[in-house]
Amino acid sequence: MRVVEPYVAFLRGINLGNRRVKSPELVSHFEAMGLGEVATFRASGNVIFADPSGDPEARLRQRVEAELEARLGYDVTVFLRGFEEVAEIAAREPFDAAAIARSKGKPQVLLLATPPAAAARKTVLALAGPDDEMSFAGRELHWLPSTGLSETEVDMKAIDRALGRGTMRTAGTIEQIAAKYCGS
């Protein structure tokens, strides 16, 4: 008997600008790909699903990206995480309570395709402002900005150049997804 792997797909660039996709439409696209138990979480490109094919993660990601591009007419970068990995990300506490209380920003998680090399991590950590805190774990950058994201002076394009494309979610969003879907 094949084990059906549950995933969360974090989509980059969904529901920004003219790229609007309602949740029922996104669900129907994933179901048309043969994926099951499809649900969305908020309107920011978080799709929960099971893959009955058992494809390796890299092949599944490529398949979902290609299908979404064909269906939506634009490139959508997909960052997949299995339920266990989402639960692990949600359980991390890279910043102490005092730092979070001092910050005017919310803890953020930048999801990446692969774990970054040491040189890339060093480059990104050097981009942090004096009151920003950053920490790497696996394929994620955890960031406690000193301000809200719209006010930050951290060069997000430089982070993309150093790490490759990623997609940002608040730590709270990841925690809520983990609690609702991943058994944490």
Nearest to 141 by CA among 123, 87, 7: 123
Contact 173, 128 (CB under 8 A): no
Give pLDDT tens digits for 172-182.
999 999 999 98
- The order of strands in the sheet holding 36-40 is 36-40, 46-51, 5-11, 78-82
Domains and CATH numbers, the chain: 5-83 (3.30.70.1280), 88-181 (3.30.70)
Give pLDDT tens digits for 95-144.
999 988 988 889 999 999 999 999 999 999 999 988 899 999 999 999 99
